[in-house]
Chains A and B, each alone.
Chain A
């Protein structure tokens, strides 16, 4: 078993209106960043998952997304597991 640092990105579905993204884009343009486009605002979650393997940690994290962390009606997610998994008990970097 090891503890893996998992990063989860939850984004509003591309097909849906993202008013926050629009507002940020508008603000960027107002500040002179005309080059910014297609801004979308999502969530970033960082957690520690204890699992036998990195792959298993990713599977568990995806299940968490399905059940709680993302709403399948409105959000997509992606899961990244830190390659530098650490042995159980050692502090996270």
Chain B
């Protein structure tokens, strides 16, 4: 059973859904308030969706300076898995923990609808229970989901297979290269725009998103999640 820290920022609104989905997958999930600097020995950190600080200025721009983010960055450096969903993805990009940025949807409208994505990388701590090439239906709900990056970064993303999810058919926000999710070069930090936590039960129209959370519990998760422990506020490998 992994300890999963769900970080709550002022304005997070998918925190409860994310906590539930992690618990449903068997994790020991709990909230960490954005002002806390202790992740309480988290194996996995999830930044949930929402509108942190009202998305004022730019989505994620203010939340990245929350006190908890220093601990998140440290967890990342120690190789600990971090997942950002929607606003969490935006925060990770603003914090420089993931490459690129998320801009206003090309259609200038908030979009809430199910989309089809293809799993492009199954070797991350959040996708290891999927098959590469598998197609999923998951909902999106965002106004700022158009992934952009400069040419050099895009070339790197391709070369290192850092695109995790890609829109199939309908590219709802005109993301470059149809990118719906990426990971960092070390593959322990993942950001996705769609909401897997909203599709983890038959009553919710399907369970294509459930394995994101089951992946966290998988023993063969590529990153040594269980090897990372915060001791005295510092991450050590044991």
Contacts and interface: CB of A to CB of B under 8 A. Distances in A.
Interface of A: 12, 16-17, 19-20, 23, 68-69, 71, 73-74
A19 B108 CA distance: 7
A17 B65 contact: no
B149 A73 contact: yes
Interface stretch (B43-51, B97-105, B117-125): B97-105
A32 B100 CA distance: 38
Contacts of B57: 68-69
Nearest to B149: A73
B41 interface: no
B176 to A, nearest CB: 9
Nearest to A72: B101
Contacts of B93: 73
Interface in B46-81: 57-58, 61-62, 65
Contact of A23 (B94, B100, B108): B108
Given A16-B148, A20-B108, A73-B149, 4 more contacts: A17-B106, A19-B107, A68-B65, A69-B57
Contacts of B149: 73
A71 B61 contact: yes
B65 to A, nearest CB: 7
A69 B58 CA distance: 9
B101 A71 contact: yes
B65 A16 contact: no
B150 interface: yes
Given A73-B93, A73-B148, A73-B150, A68 B107 contact: no
A71 B108 contact: no
A65 to B, nearest CB: 11
